[in-house]
Amino acid sequence: MCSVKAAAKNPLAQHSKGFALLLQRLGPNLTRFTRVSTLVRFDIMRALEQYIRNYEHGRWAKDSRAVLPFSWGLEHVGGRADESDPRGFLEEFVARTVENSDEWYAAPPALDYHLEGDQLTFTSLVQSPWRENNRVHARLFRASQVGPAVLVMAQWNAKPTEHVAICQWLNTLGITALRLTLPYHDSRSASGHERAYNLVGPNIGLTLQANRQAVCDARQCLRWLEQQGYDRLGLLGTSIGSSIGFITMAHDPAVRAGTFLHVSTYFGSVVSTGLTTMHVWESLQSKVTREEIVRYWSPISPFPYVHHLKASTQKALMVSGKYDPTFWPEYSEELRVALRRDRIEVESLNLPCGHYSLGIPPFSWIVGGRFAAFFMRALA
């Protein structure tokens, strides 16, 4: 120990001794200050949560949504419209499809890729009853050099301008981006449909077909990128684009990395509990239970395909919102736990925001920086 004399010659020791005496005198007040500051932080977070929840509800309330009639829609998945036992058909279909998902989601290169300007088009492998929807459209944002490329898929009912900024941001990093127009969106909209109800709707079979089509379209986009010389491929998806992207990555080993903005376990869980799909569940719940819709839509859900991911070569970044009323946080956490259990390399970012609010500053800035760093590492 230092002697008093040595301490007197050592300014650092003097300051340390003085600081210790100060703490001793302030002890009771310091404890009270810490307690007050904890309460202040709690109040700030509670106010932020209330603001975010109000914002989420306000954004949701701006749009008008029609409640469409329920339909089994089995004719869209190889059954009959007048199937006498629709539940029995779906139980068998689901078991067979999940077990043989590599075959269901198989997608060889298209035969008619056509690039004009920055617009890539080709015929979708999966043919729906709507001609407009069967022509795939994707917008190319080419980086200055051939290197890594990321396939970008926006959220449900996204406008053509959405995620353009993300693609441009990827370009500044030297990454080419290809923004896929999802089935029944924009130029693929079915005649008379203002919203993309056929991608997520109370028609069980049609929703299955539409999401299968989206995955197959995504895989055919990846094949085109490979034909152009891009051999370091990634995915970025938001909301339903995240679900489609996850399934795509699970069935396509060429994808090295995926960023998933809003993640969940089961398609049916989101639809039956989420704020933005209340109108869909309103129609469904008159005919099926929550457990049934989770099972019937499991072939288009991420969770059954976690074990398909290649732990040695594929990496994931999962971004979720602590106050998300559409993709509930517990679903996101369940998927993260499953990935880590299977030793998949996964990074996670859980922000104090919701579903819509992830797309506004400062959350959008934080996410942009995070996925930029992730792709720069994973696609190097």
**What ranges do the domains of the chain cover?**
13-57, 63-378
Residue 116, H or E segment? strand 114-116
The answer to whether domain 63-378 has CATH 3.40.50.1820 is: yes
| Reported pTM | 0.89
Check pLDDT > 80 for residue 297: yes
pLDDT of residue 22: 45
Residue 193: pLDDT band (50, 70, 90) is confident
For residues 13 and 355, which has the higher predicted lDDT (pLDDT)? 355
Distance CA 370, CA 374 (A): 6
pLDDT of residue 190: 82
Over the stretch 113-131, which tens digit does the pLDDT of each residue have?
Answer: 999 999 999 999 999 999 9
Strand-pair partners of 152: 179, 236
Check pLDDT > 90 for residue 189: yes
pLDDT of residue 2: 40
The percent of residues above 70 in pLDDT, for the chain, comes to: 89
pLDDT of residue 8: 39
Main-chain phi, psi angles of 208, to 5 degrees: -60, -50
Check pLDDT > 60 for residue 31: no
